[in-house]
Homo-oligomer: A and B are copies of this chain.
Amino acid sequence: MGRGVTVPDANCDPSLSALERIPRSTLRDQVAERLRAAILGGDIPPGAPLVEIALSERFDVSRGPLREALRQLIEEGLVVTVPYTGTYVAPLSVEDVREIYSLRTALETFAFELIWDRRDRQFRSELVRRNAALIATIDAGDDRASIDTELAFHGLVYEMTGHRLLQRTWHGLRGRLQLYWAAHHRAHGRRGPRRDSHDSYIAAALGDDLAVMRAEIVEHMRRGTETTERFLRSRPPVLGKSKRGDIT
């Protein structure tokens, strides 16, 4: 069952269809994708207002598909909205950071429990491969890519489980994580993970003791929380919605 190891990830999420689907991409999905990229890429900072008509002109679509794309991003936690008032990129908060990492600890622990007895040769080599890719991007100084490869590294565990609901939950967290990391990167420049940040993680993941892995995950997330939280406190965003059209 060589599942989910070498997934080039062509289409989106055909939540159940086993048949091959070649869905003509709808404008809604295209807009959602581009807008997501714009937010995660930092083009639109957290707290910034998202005016529908402005975005519809920017993406050259009508407000209909745009609004549906916004709904999608809202559910992903990247966007918040207040009825009849406005839509904004989700603001950053230390509370969110703690929640993201604590929940991620629970999920990743659960994921490892699921796959612990199924870690085959393919999984181990792929884990090492992705770590190498991560190190490569770090050495290259490409922060954007570093974020992606970092997430892809941890994503392997979720893919291995074959647990669609778990993967779905992970994707929800992943978007939020990207939001924080992108902001961190934008504020401090070169400040990604260290080259050896996954050494003990990999050692535990390839080892025999599940308890060690659990402890490693806890420690890994503790460090992540600390780093991200410190960044947030260092740069008081004060992203409260003040005037109508500010950018924070």
Q: Which residues from chain A sit less than 8 Å from chain B, CB to CB?
A: 15-17, 21, 23-26, 29, 64, 67-68, 71-72, 75, 80, 82-84, 91, 93, 95-96, 99-100, 102-103, 106-107, 109-110, 114, 163-166, 169, 172-173
Contact = CB atoms under 8 A, between A and B. Distances in A.
Given A67-B68, A103-B110, A83 B23 contact: yes
Q: How many copies does the complex hold?
A: 2
Contact of A84 (B17, B23, B106, B107): B23
Contacts of A84: 23-24, 26
B23 A82 contact: yes
A68 B110 CA distance: 33
A169 B169 contact: yes
Nearest to A12: B83
A36 to B, nearest CB: 14
Contacts of A164: 95, 99
Contacts of A15: 80
Contacts of A93: 16
A64 B29 CA distance: 17
A163 B24 contact: no
A15 to B, nearest CB: 6
Nearest to A111: B106
Contacts of A25: 83
